[in-house]
Structure 1
Amino acid sequence: MGQGRVKAKGFVRKESRRSMAQEARKKRRREERKKGIKIERIPKTIDNKRVFDETKVENEEDIEMIREEQLDEFSSVISGRISPKVMITTTMTGGAYAGKLGRELAYVIPNGVFKRRRGYSMSSILKTLKKKHYTMLILVEQGVQRKRPDGLWMINLPHGPTAHFRIGTVRYRREIPDVGRKSDHYPDLNLYGFKTRLGRRISRMFQSLFPPKPEYYGRQIITFHNQRDWIFFRQHRFIFDDPKTPRVQELGPRFSLYLLSLQDGTMQRTSPYEYIPKAGTRSEKLRFIL
């Protein structure tokens, strides 16, 4: 009984302090209106209350950052010195749903090929792909008791890094109304919302999947949109029935990704992590890493 009374008293005090603060705000606003003071009040949102990140890129023309990106693991593909060559398969536990998304990814990526896993070990797969000069390996993961893909690995070849994502909502091409059919033209890329050093690194990893010179005649665009650390994928085509008001047709598929880790090397347990969430950090709703 004593503990219940203490809790009740604490609740009453909290409510009284809250009502006093509300009354003080109302009084201050009445005085401002009397004096004719107009104060522009900006609504509070998650985006404008975001916790400051030291790695946020304020100047995209920073010389040091540009030099680092010119020498990173993705520069040879992005600069056009090497053509991207992507292999897509599943993890050992990947089932029919993982294979379905893998085939959709091979449809999206111009130089992407999907192959069934067939029990091959990861070491043998990596060894073969390095010999054949592949630049990226994508693994689609499916939970044991889940009837949908729930994870995705991107392994940059030949030396890494390796990114691990959680897959959110997936909508396949057949599930999208009025879906179009893509052509063989290389698409243009729209990488939006990657504002930190880690975010730019992940965006360059996505960029290295596609040929660096888009063929604008195909009027196709692929978007990776980062919003609060969720990366949304979309593919569209512009249709110019009316030159003044062009319309957009979705080509599919749709899915979302959430970064779980970024590790040096090619899925080696001893390799250090560039990023892995610390205990408790993901509970901070106002802190974003990308």
Structure 2
Amino acid sequence: MAVKRKKSNTGDMIVPCGKEDSNSTEKKSNGKEHLLPSMIKNKEKRSAVHAQLKHQKKLEKRKKAKAREADEKRALEIGEEPPPRKIPRTIENTREFDETICKPDDEELFAGNDGDEFSSILKHESTSKILITTCRFNSTRGPAFISELLSVIPNAHYYKRGTYDLKKIVEYATNKDFTSIIVVHTNRREPDALLVIGLPDGPTAHFKLSKLVLRKDIKNHGNPTSHQPELVLTNFTTRLGHRIGRLIQSLFPQDPNFRGRQVVTFHNQRDFIFFRHHRYIFESKESKQSDSKATKGKDTKDEKSAQEKTVARLQECGPRFTLKLISLQQGTFDTKGGEYEWVHKPEMDTSRRRFFL
């Protein structure tokens, strides 16, 4: 067998020629096959390779989709069940197991609902009455946001904060038969937090407010009416989420007026509560439909007949914002001696698949 001397730091090394050639060809072939755009220094070549890889990936995805559609069509023609579609892995359906997730047959949970702080309002024994105020240092967008909250929440009243302490406001609101207090906190001329206090026995929830969009900034927005809206709460699945959902539910009357076609939605996703305010709009449109009519002794002819069809759509009324729960405190607002049911801490954010609401 032929040999070849190869120089190294320690001296000459005898390497078989055949083995060296095979290794070098394998490295070259692997280098060509697994060439990544990040390994190319030339910017034009790197962008060209990236575009080519992206195009190939798109073609493969389209090819798989066509093959799946063909299999489903073939199964329907034969009369068999189509192959089951794969469920994509998301953060929501791979969330970590939580022992506090509510079950439909949880008797302890429903027994606790009868004796909590919101039972009188949710059982129609009393009517919700909300007091809305601000922090001591108000901003320019704060009053605009409060005026839109007043149009969303029925039986809500605004009181100027002035220099009053929050504990005195709680005492005043309790004597005036208010059921809840909403404090809009602002920072740098922008509302950034909400404090919701249940009266007279609490609890007190502190939310971080972000992504605020007022009604005037929403394209093709609608104007709300004085009708009481329908309330929709989604994805409040844990014990903590159930309690926050009942707190939000106690802010609104429990007898919606469906004639107004208004819907207020609090949608929880990954512990972010998205607020939306819509109204239904029903429109009648003409739809052209081809009807084939067969007559004796004559060929079938397609005749287009115009028919009226009612189409329903949603029109956003605003405002639009996102809430993030910071803490839930027992009783009314008390920063020194109050006991907290739940507090968000930075060490809780170690896993992206761990949710609390």
1:67 aligns with 2:67: no
- 113, 130, 149: which is aligned to 1:105? 149
Give the Cα separation in 2 of the matches to 1:222 and 1:43. Answer: 30
Q: Is the Cα–Cα contact under 8 Å of residues 133 and 184 in structure 2 kept in the other structure?
A: yes
In structure 1, what is the equivalent of residue 163 of structure 2?
119
Quick check: 1:237–1:248 contact (8 Å CA) kept in 2? Answer: yes
- Tell me what 1:264 maps to: 330
CA shift at 1:41, angstroms?
Answer: 5.9
- The higher radius of gyration belongs to 2
Unmatched 5+ residue regions in structure 1?
A: 1-18, 20-37
Shift of 1:39: 10
2:341 maps to 1:244: no
Task: Point out which structure has higher relative CO (alpha carbons under 8 A, 6+ apart).
Answer: 1
SS class of match (2:315): strand
Aligned to 1:5: none
Q: Deviations over 1:41-65 (max 9, x none)?
A: 65332112211111011x2342221
CA contact (8 A) 1:99 1:116 kept: no
Of residues 89, 92, 114, the one that matches 1:44 is 89
Q: Which residue is equivalent to 2:98?
A: 53
SS at match of 1:244: strand
Correspondence 1:96-245 to 2 at 5 A = 96-143=140-187, 146-242=188-284, 244-245=310-311
Separation in structure 2 between the aligned mates of residue 223 and residue 61 of structure 1, nearest angstrom: 25
Which amino acid in structure 1 is aligned with residue 114 of structure 2? Q
The alignment's C-alpha RMSD in Å is 1.8
Q: In the TM superposition, what is the alpha-carbon distance from 1:224 to its structure 2 partner? A: 0.3
Alignment match, 1:77:
121
Higher strand share: 2
Per-residue CA shift, 1:20-43, capped at 9, x if unaligned?
A: xxxxxxxxxxxxxxxxxx998653
Q: 1:277 to 1:239 in 2, by over 3 A?
A: same
Identical columns (%): 42
**Structure 1 residue 87: deviation in Å?**
0.5
The answer to whether the 8 A contact 2:207-2:323 is kept is yes
Q: Secondary structure at the match of 1:56?
A: coil
Distance 2:176 2:125 in 1: 17
Indicate if the aligned counterparts of 1:99 and 1:140 stay in contact, CA closer than 8 A. Answer: no
User: For the structure 1 residues 102 and 40, does the alpha-carbon distance in structure 2 shift closer, same or farther, using more than 3 Å as the test?
Assistant: closer
Asked if the contact 1:89/1:99 (under 8 Å) is kept, the reply is no
Flag the 1:283–1:104 CA change in 2: closer, same or farther, 3 A: farther
Aligned partners of 1:237 and 1:250 also within 8 Å: yes
Distance 1:188 1:42 in 2: 32
Give deviations 1:90-122, integer Å, cap 9, x for gaps: 112332322322222111101111222111111
* Corresponding pairs, count: 251
Question: Which amino acid counterpart does residue 273 of structure 1 have in structure 2?
Answer: Y
